[in-house]
């Protein structure tokens, strides 16, 4: 089994999470050497302070979990997160716009966050469970055109999460130009290894410790 701690975004996005919960997952990230701690934007500064000097990234979700807010609101949230210490931004696309074929809107929505977040990297959540394969490919290509660093399968808050098939399709689409993050419904070391084998570069999970085997 590959040692995957350095590929895991240790995640806590539940509405009921409080500061003590956030401090706990930061301590776990320090202990196990996870890639990042991923939280809602109100906890950006807390996480950045907790992880300062560790090399572990502060990852913040933007436009989460629906992606259906105004582009300016997403960009402002990203800018605030960057100012508070985020090094990585996971944003949700406007799924409805994508499904309607409003590709220019989707691309500009992503680009606005990429520009607001710079130099923090942006991972684009495409919510694969709501898309056809053709739409998944299109979403990945739009994310690439808009300057994103990653495409990501899922929020973990919709109908389903990551699958090896979706990861493989996304990796085939973006090649080595972008990285792929798998997230949502990943509960076992075996699942994590299958997703990495399919082409995932990063795993997002709320139970990162359990994935270590």
pLDDT 10s digits, 90-116: 999 999 999 999 999 999 999 999 999
Q: Which helix (H) or strand (E) covers residue 25, if one does?
A: helix 19-32
Q: Where are the domains of the chain?
A: 5-212
Report how far apart, in Å, the C-alpha atoms of 116 and of each of 31, 73, 159, 190, 201 are. 32, 11, 30, 37, 24
DSSP-derived secondary structure letter, 142: H
Region of 77 please: left (phi>0), alpha (psi -120 to 50) or beta.
Answer: alpha
Mean pLDDT, all residues of the chain:
97
Strands annotated E in the chain: 8-12, 36-39, 57-62, 88-92, 121-125, 150-152, 179-183, 202-205
Report whether 53 contacts 105 (CB < 8 A). no
> Please, which pLDDT band fits residue 58 given cuts at 50, 70 and 90?
very high
Active site positions, annotated:
90, 152, 181
% of the chain beyond a pLDDT of 70: 99
Name the CATH topology of 5-212.
Answer: TIM Barrel (3.20.20)
pLDDT of amino acid 1: 45
Residue identified by tokens 């076992």 is 188
Average pLDDT over residues 59-65: 98
Q: What pTM was computed for the model?
A: 0.97
Q: What is the pLDDT of residue 14?
A: 97
């Amino acid at each position: 089994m590959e040692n995957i701690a350095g590929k895991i975004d240790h995640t806590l996005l539940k509405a009921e999470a409080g500061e003590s919960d956030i401090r706990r997952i930061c301590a776990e990230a320090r202990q196990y050497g996870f890639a990042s701690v991923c939280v809602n934007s109100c906890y950006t500064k807390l996480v950045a302070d907790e992880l300062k000097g560790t090399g572990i990234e502060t990852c913040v979700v933007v436009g989460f979990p629906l992606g259906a807010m105004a582009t300016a609101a997403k960009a402002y949230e990203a800018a605030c997160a960057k100012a508070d210490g985020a090094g990585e931004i996971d944003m949700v696309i406007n799924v409805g716009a994508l499904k309607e074929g409003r590709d220019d809107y989707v691309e500009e929505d992503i680009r606005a966050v990429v520009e607001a977040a710079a130099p923090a990297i942006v991972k684009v959540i495409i919510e694969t469970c709501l898309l056809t394969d053709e739409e998944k490919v299109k979403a990945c290509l739009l994310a690439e055109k808009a300057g994103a660093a990653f495409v990501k399968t899922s929020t973990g808050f919709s109908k389903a999460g990551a699958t090896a098939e979706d990861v493989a399709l996304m990796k085939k689409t973006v090649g080595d130009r972008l990285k792929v993050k798998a997230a949502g419904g990943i509960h076992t070391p075996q699942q994590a290894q299958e997703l990495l084998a399919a082409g995932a570069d990063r795993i997002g999970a709320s139970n990162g410790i359990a994935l270590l085997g």
